[in-house]
Amino acid sequence: MANSENDTIAAISTPVGEGGISIIRISGDDAIEVAQRIYKGKDLSKVASHTINYGHVIDPDTNQEVDEVMVSVMRAPRTYTREDVIEINCHGGLLATNKILQLVLSFGARMAEPGEFTKRAFLNGRLDLSQSEAVMDLIRAKTDKSMKVALNQLDGDLSRLIRHLRKDILDVLAQVEVNIDYPEYDAVEEMTTKLLKEKAEDIQQRIQALLNTAKQGKVLRDGLATAIIGRPNVGKSSLLNSLLHEDKAIVTNVAGTTRDVIEEYVNVNGVPLKLIDTAGIRDTSDQVEKIGVERSRKALEAADLILLLIDSSAALTDEDRQLLEATKDKQRIIILNKTDLPLAVDLDELKSLAGKSTVIETSIVNHEGMDQLGKQISHMFFNEGIESSQNNVMVTNARHIGLLHQANDALSDVLKGINDGMPVDLVQIDMTRCWELLGEITGDSYQDELLDQLFSQFCLGK
Ligand SMILES: Nc1nc2c(c(=O)[nH]1)N(C=O)[C@@H](CNc1ccc(C(=O)N[C@@H](CCC(=O)O)C(=O)O)cc1)CN2
Ligand SMILES: Nc1nc2c(ncn2[C@@H]2O[C@H](COP(=O)(O)OP(=O)(O)OP(=O)(O)O)[C@@H](O)[C@H]2O)c(=O)[nH]1
Ligand SMILES: [Mg+2]
């Protein structure tokens, strides 16, 4: 039988593995009854809502104790799903957790699909679609900032903004409707067009402001793709480790140590970086190293920011010169490393090849110059890069960005229609389309396939 939205569902909501406590979550009309059948303790159907209750899970078939537990009872509608919710907190071993889930499933619940608890929160009207998407963003957040953005979205900040836009569109459509229906005044056609034009421009501006946050939002979500490059042995992996404050990459004095691309997330002075340590770039005949070097070139091309290392204790080589040339049009910081050693590099040549790029001197082994590097990164990001956003609302989700672009296009069509002197009722169609597209962000209108696709990307038990 196909899964139904009325089934009582269950899943393990904590990560699979050994832990202090695991939670088995149950939601639906039969949640309390199902729990009661495998539970010895107070009568769960009689305890007050939003209480946690001590007892034991027993296997009714054998009457054997399975685990000592705490059971939360939360009655609809003030729950995560707006349905009755039970949470069994058991000892966090794999065996007990799975055994309890099996019992729950054999006594009337079915296994939840990924994201199905949150899907119900959406279908039952507790969250809108962009808030539901924020739940998963929150779980996947890799930096403090992206977490804050997701939390704001979960609190409904983006939804409010979108709803505001939609209300304004509806108001203008209503106004236009009235004007069309009661063309008592001569100037009504002209007035209507003027009103439409003003409003369309205003709304388009607000949508574009939102779209402007998307770029920064993407960085906050995915981290600024930052490639650490330089010829072999300049200290790339040492820099990665130093920024991470841990020894992640292998560092040796053998040139060609790093063979593949290593990716790590780190927050440097408030800027979330996706650091990419690469194999030192040089012409090589070693097959394995060759593949690594090829990947490094790709990482270089895709990077938002380049940290280019130069060895201050050696003369510039042709490889250095090539890398300086290859990155000259990119956002980059040149790091002159190994300043603890006697200087051998020609500073004048380096300066001329560096052009406008900032050169920072470091001795990574002695932790010197790292503060300056951090400051330069945040300066480039916050002051030179991307403007900060309004209202703490930031669009980070590809689906939302796509819809905003389409809404923006619809408004361009409105404005073009007005300029071309099209009849008002045709212009209205584009305005209505804009309203509908915005509604897809909050899920005021949606198709079932979209829901399936969105929620299937969620964790099990969420
Ligand atoms: N044990 C446990 N911890 C958890 C969750 C959970 O479901 N269970 N959460 C789940 O992801 C998160 C918390 N989020 C939640 C959001 C809303 C409601 C909820 O019951 N909302 C009701 C009542 C609010 C109220 O009492 O004021 C509502 O909005 O109607 C519960 C948890 C994180 N921690
Ligand atoms: N004296 C000195 N040595 C350094 C400094 N930074 C790194 N090194 C040393 O340089 C050597 C190479 O460092 P790595 O970090 O492995 O260099 P890499 O660029 O990742 O090298 P490949 O992966 O081979 O391309 C190691 O012996 C480091 O300890 C520095 O500031 N001063
Ligand atoms: Mg290395």
Ligand with the closest atom to the CA of 120? 1
Nearest atom in ligand 1 to the alpha carbon of residue 462 is: 11
Question: Separation of 256 CA from ligand 2 center, angstroms?
Answer: 11
Residue 390: pLDDT band (50, 70, 90) is: very low
92-115 residues labelled b (16+ CB within 10 A) or e (exposed): beeebbebbbebbbebbbbebbbb
Say yes or no to pLDDT of 451 above 50. yes
Q: Which CATH class is domain 9-126?
A: alpha beta
Nearest atom in ligand 2 to the alpha carbon of residue 341 is: 1
Chain position carrying tokens 């799975």: 98
Nearest atom in ligand 1 to the alpha carbon of residue 126 is: 29
pLDDT tens-digit profile of 309-358? 999 999 999 889 988 998 998 999 999 999 999 999 999 999 999 999 99
Between residues 154 and 221, the one the model is more confident about: 154
307 membership: H or E segment, kind and range: strand 305-311
Whose C-alpha lies nearest to ligand 1, atom 31? 80
Q: What is the Cα–Cα distance from 60 to 103, expressed in whole angstroms?
A: 9
Q: Is 280 exposed, middle or buried (0-12, 13-18, 19+ CB in 10 A)?
A: buried
144 has binding-site annotation: no
Whose C-alpha lies nearest to ligand 2, atom 27? 253
Please tell me the predicted confidence (pLDDT) of residue 388: 41
Whether 237 is in the pocket of ligand 2, judged by its Cβ within 6 Å, is yes
Whose C-alpha lies nearest to ligand 1, atom 20? 79
Check residue 362 and report its DSSP letter.
-
Lowest mean pLDDT among 44-53, 63-72, 249-258, 371-380: 249-258
Whether 236 is in the pocket of ligand 2, judged by its Cβ within 6 Å, is yes
Nearest atom in ligand 2 to the alpha carbon of residue 239 is: 15
In this prediction, residues 152-166 reach a mean pLDDT of 95
385 has binding-site annotation: no
Residue to substitute in 53, 80, 84, 120 for testing ligand 1 pocket (most ligand atoms within 8 angstroms of CB): 80
Nearest atom in ligand 2 to the alpha carbon of residue 240 is: 15
Ligand with the closest atom to the CA of 459? 1
Per domain, the residue ranges of the chain are 9-126, 135-219+397-443, 225-383
Ligand with the closest atom to the CA of 77? 1
Note the CATH number of domain 225-383.
3.40.50.300
Lowest mean pLDDT among 106-115, 154-163, 387-396: 387-396
Check residue 382 and report its DSSP letter.
I
Question: Separation of 80 CA from ligand 1 center, angstroms?
Answer: 5
In this prediction, residues 109-125 reach a mean pLDDT of 96
Q: What is the Cα–Cα distance from 364 to 239, expressed in whole angstroms?
A: 6
Q: Which CATH class is domain 135-219+397-443?
A: mainly alpha
417 has binding-site annotation: no
N- to C-terminal Cα distance for the chain?
A: 23
Question: Separation of 248 CA from ligand 1 center, angstroms?
Answer: 37
252 has binding-site annotation: yes
Whether 433 is in the pocket of ligand 1, judged by its Cβ within 6 Å, is no
pLDDT tens-digit profile of 396-439? 898 999 999 999 999 999 999 999 999 888 999 999 999 999 99
Question: Separation of 291 CA from ligand 2 center, angstroms?
Answer: 21
Residue 289: pLDDT band (50, 70, 90) is: low
Residue 147: pLDDT band (50, 70, 90) is: confident
Whose C-alpha lies nearest to ligand 1, atom 14? 80
Q: What is the pTM of this model?
A: 0.70
Please tell me the predicted confidence (pLDDT) of residue 269: 87
What six digits make up the tokens of 460?
Answer: 């099990």
Say yes or no to pLDDT of 454 above 60. yes
Cα torsion through 310, 312, 314, 317, rounded to 10: 30
In total, the chain counts a number of residues equal to: 462
Lowest mean pLDDT among 13-22, 284-293, 356-365: 284-293
130 has binding-site annotation: no
Say yes or no to pLDDT of 1 above 60. no
Please tell me the predicted confidence (pLDDT) of residue 389: 42
The per-residue pLDDT of the chain, averaged, comes to 90
236 has binding-site annotation: yes
In this prediction, residues 22-48 reach a mean pLDDT of 98
Please tell me the predicted confidence (pLDDT) of residue 252: 78
Question: Separation of 254 CA from ligand 2 center, angstroms?
Answer: 9
Whose C-alpha lies nearest to ligand 2, atom 3? 338
Say yes or no to pLDDT of 387 above 50. no
